[in-house]
Amino acid sequence: MSYGRRVAIVGAGKTAFGAFADRDLRSLAVAAGRKALANARMEPGTIESFYLGNFAGPEFTGQNHLAPWISSSLGMTGIPSTRFEAACASSGAAFFQAFMGVASGVYDAVLVVGVEKMTCQPTARVTEILAGAGDGDTEVRVGSTFPSLFAMIARRHMHDFGTTREHLASVAVKNHENGALNPDAQMRKVITLEQAMNGRPIAEPLNLYDCSLISDGAAAVVLCAADRAREFSDKPVQVLGVAQASDFVALDRKRDITTFPALKAAADSAYKMAGVTAKDIEFAELHDCFTIAEIVAMEDLGFVERGRGGFFSLAGGTRRDGTMPVNASGGLKAKGHPVGATGVGQLCDIIQQLRCEAGDRQLKRHSLGLAQNLGGSGATCVVTILGCY
Amino acid sequence: MRTGTVYTETVVHLAPTKFAANVPYQVAIVDLEDGERLTARISGDRVAIGDLVSETESHHEIPYFRKS
């Protein structure tokens, strides 16, 4: 496989994540897009292709044909403008396509926006829409929800490896601690281990504190050919590796549900492309849609041995001062999880660290970061490795 | 009637609109004797990983299992 031309990120911007009754899907997407363009000192007319990551805009808001609806509002017409849907990995998937557009030499400059507007629906309806990312013919039909799928992963992980309720809670406590320092986070509240272990049950053994939030928000990045990066940014970021992989949608089609084969495949490819190993990665933004997902991702990425993710988390290894800081942004748990915006949102968080712009959350080692974006219960995974110039 | 072993399970407390009246309910992935794996509802007593279960009935094409 050839990796094509080198690609840089020259602009990044996102809205705060939260519940915004006065903001619709388009205004969120446009705000993030404008911020990213301004950050790249780029006019909309320079963009040659537009990529939108969005999971369920039509179901949440009734609007379809979302990509040109948004890009035209950003002042872009006459270019390809397409929406990518891959459940909660929608904007990770859009980013991967955008990367290939530039790496292939077809485009010099492209814009990726991820967006989701979720809080306009009641929780039971949100649960139903999110369940659309599962297999409707099998697991969803019997009453599985997304929390319940990850709850079944957690149960089996606890059974096979001795992962405990306390381990799961430690992920939530750490992510809340980081989120409290993030001005753009939805949940800026520190919680105790005891609180996190005793939340209202959602799908046993997961409780409220194991679950990410229902959020509105958008995030955007501008990609360009690396040899033109300095035209647009004083602080360009290198896309060192990016890969996407797929798996079965139904959890019951997998032989072992305590690992995500798509995550491992994407990670292997991204590491190889970047010419690095797990040991070289200095910090990461991982897809903690549920606490157990961060634990499994730690293991599948090779940051810890299989089965040790929970132990490592409880011991503080993933805190900002730990040996492998994870979700210094607050993660999906505290920062918020507007599902279609999450993948690009993670990249914005990595970029902020690489550029040394993370304020109170700035990490000591911040030259090589990894983002991992998961769709469904693991049927899509995108892994991206970014570095400084 | 099919029989099998519980591979994993959960009790759902927050359900989609369609199943909201049923909470709490148990869902399990069952390893059937023929080697197939199936997501099913559990009726009767709660089950845990490793429990033997057998199919009881099917409501609206939803397979139901219960502790053997």
For chain A, give every residue range classified as CATH 3.40.47.10: 7-121+215-238, 134-212+239-388
User: pLDDT tens across B13-54, in order?
Assistant: 999 888 999 999 999 999 999 999 999 999 999 999 999 999
Other beta carbons less than 10 A from residue B33's beta carbon: 12
Q: Is A285 in contact with A350 (CB distance < 8 Å)?
A: yes
Written as one string, the DSSP assignment of A140-171 is TTTT--HHHHHHHHHHHHHHHH---HHHHHHH
Task: Tell me the pLDDT tens digit for each residue of A90-112.
Answer: 999 999 999 999 999 999 999 99
pLDDT tens digits, chain A, 389 residues: what are they?
Answer: 788 999 999 999 999 999 999 999 999 999 999 999 999 999 999 999 999 999 999 999 999 999 999 999 999 999 999 999 999 999 999 999 999 999 999 999 999 999 999 999 999 899 899 999 999 999 999 999 999 999 999 999 999 999 999 999 999 999 999 999 999 999 999 999 999 999 999 999 999 999 999 999 999 999 999 999 999 999 999 999 999 999 999 999 999 999 999 999 999 999 999 999 999 999 999 999 999 999 999 999 999 999 999 999 999 999 999 999 999 999 999 999 999 999 999 999 999 999 999 999 999 999 999 999 999 999 999 999 999 98
Q: How far is A62 from chain B (nearest CA, A)?
A: 18
* Interface membership of A199 toward B (CB under 8 Å): no
Cβ atoms of A209 and A199 within 8 Å: the answer is yes
DSSP 3-state helix, strand, coil percentages of chain B (rounded to 5)? Answer: 10, 55, 35
User: Of residues A157, A337, A348, A381, which has the active-site annotation?
Assistant: A337
Strand partners of residue A86 = A88
A167 Cα to chain B: minimum distance (Å): 18
Would you say A354 and A366 are in contact if contact means Cβ atoms under 8 Å apart?
Answer: yes
Q: Alpha helix locations (H) across chain A? A: 25-39, 57-61, 66-73, 90-103, 123-131, 146-161, 165-179, 193-197, 229-232, 261-274, 291-300, 309-314, 331-335, 339-354
DSSP string covering A375-387, please? ETTTTEEEEEEEE
Chain Cα centroid distance, residue A216: 14
Interface residue of A137, A148, A290 to substitute, partner B, most B CBs within 10 Å: A148
Q: Do B39 and A202 touch (CB under 8 A)?
A: no
Q: Which of A148, A156, A250 sits opposite B12 (nearest CB)?
A: A148
pTM: 0.98
Q: Among residues A283, A257, A246, which one has the least CA distance to residue A382?
A: A246
Candidate from A131, A155, A253 with C-beta closest to B10: A155
Determine the topology of domain A134-212+239-388 in CATH: Peroxisomal Thiolase; Chain A, domain 1 (3.40.47)
Answer for the pair A369, A286: CB distance below 8 angstroms, yes or no. no
Looking at the complex, does the CB of residue A263 fall below 8 Å from at least one CB of chain B? no
pLDDT of residue A349: 98
Residues of chain B neighbouring A144 (CB-CB closer than 8 A): 12, 27, 39
Contacting residues of A for B10, CB less than 8 Å apart: 148, 151-152, 155, 203-206
Is there a cis peptide before residue A205, judged by omega within 30 degrees of 0? yes
User: Whole domain around residue B51: which residue ranges?
Assistant: 3-67
Inter-chain touch A124–B38, beta carbons under 8 Å: no
B6 close contact with A: CB closer than 8 A: no
Give the number of A-B residue pairs with CB atoms closer than 8 Å.
92
Q: Which residue of chain A has the CA closest to B64?
A: A142
Half-sphere exposure of A346 (CA within 13 A, CB side): 35
- How many domains, in total, are found in chain B? 1
| Length in residues, chain B | 68
Q: What are phi and psi of B26, to 5 degrees?
A: -100, 135
- CB contact under 8 Å between B14 and A147, yes or no, is yes
Spell out which residues of chain A touch residue B14, defining contact as CB-CB under 8 Å. Answer: 123-124, 127, 145, 147, 202-203
Annotation marks residue A337 as catalytic: yes
A7-121+215-238 has which CATH code?
Answer: 3.40.47.10
B58 pLDDT above the threshold of 80: no
A204 interface with B at CB cutoff 8 Å: yes
Chain B nearest CA to A173, separation (Å): 22
Q: How far is CA A15 from CA A18, A94, A252, in A?
A: 9, 18, 37
Q: Residue B61: list chain A partners with CB under 8 A.
A: 141
* B46 and A CB contact within 8 Å: no
CATH, residue B22: 2.40.50
Cβ <8 Å between A153 and B8: yes
Known catalytic residue: A167? Answer: no
Mutate to test the interface with A, among B5, B6, B8 (most CBs of A within 10 A): B8
Under an 8 A CB cutoff, do A143 and B41 touch? Answer: yes
